[in-house]
Amino acid sequence: MRYWLMKSEPDEVSFDDVLAAPAKTVSWFGVRNYQARNFMRDAMSVGDGILFYHSSCAVPGVAGIAEVASGAYPDATQFDPSSPYHDPKAKQEEPRWISVDVRALDAGRYLPLAELRATPGLEDMVLLQKGSRLSVSPVTQAEWNTIVALVREGKR
pLDDT in tens, 89-133: 999 999 999 999 999 999 889 999 999 999 999 999 999 999 888
How much of the chain, in percent, has pLDDT values that exceed 70? 98
**Confidence band (pLDDT; 50, 70, 90) for 155?**
low
- Number of structural domains found in the chain: 1
Instruction: Kindly report the pTM of this predicted structure.
Output: 0.94
Phi and psi torsions of 43, nearest 5°: -120, -25
Distance spanning both ends of the chain, measured CA to CA: 27
Which pLDDT value is given to residue 38?
A: 97
Which pLDDT value is given to residue 156?
A: 52
Collect all residues with Cβ–Cβ distance below 8 Å to 20 and sequence separation of at least 6. none
Which pLDDT value is given to residue 78?
A: 98
* Chain length of the chain: 156
**Residue range(s) defining the domain that contains residue 48:** 3-153
d(C-alpha 48, C-alpha 125), whole Å:
18
CATH number at residue 43: 3.10.590.10
